[in-house]
Amino acid sequence: MSDDGAETRTPRIGTSGTGTPGAHAPSARAVLAAISLGWGLVVAVGAYGVVRAVQFFAFPDPNPATLVWSAHAGFFWRAWTVAYAGGMAAFVALVLARGRVAAAARALAAAVPVAAGLLALQVVLFP
């Protein structure tokens, strides 16, 4: 009861803490899947920057203005290669993050700017 004699009621708060009655927090499996998917995407982005830098030195592409047709599309194969690597990383992250979801999420938050930096360096230094 409040000072004026009226009964005060606290609002119902859902399990997610958002204040929405009946709202539910995501399951542990969903969180783990989201974190492993995030790791896969981050690894794919970072790997693209590394693969492009290696290919810049190891296999220099000819000037595209002098080519009419090429059987080898470099971007296409780089994209498929890093997508494959990202998929493998997602499964590895799924296995490694079990029981350590909070640590995997913290590491993922730190890995995002690293992957973005690798891609930015690739764009600037190895076009």
Q: pLDDT by residue (tens digit) across 64-121?
A: 555 555 556 777 888 888 999 999 999 999 999 998 999 999 999 999 999 999 999 9
87 closest CA partner among 27, 32, 36: 36
105 closest CA partner among 19, 12, 28, 8: 28
Residue 7 to residues 2, 19, 33, 116, Cα–Cα distance (Å): 6, 21, 45, 55
SS3 call for 82: helix
Spell out the residues 6+ positions from residue 26 whose beta carbon is closer than 8 angstroms to its own.
34
Q: What's residue 39's pLDDT?
A: 92
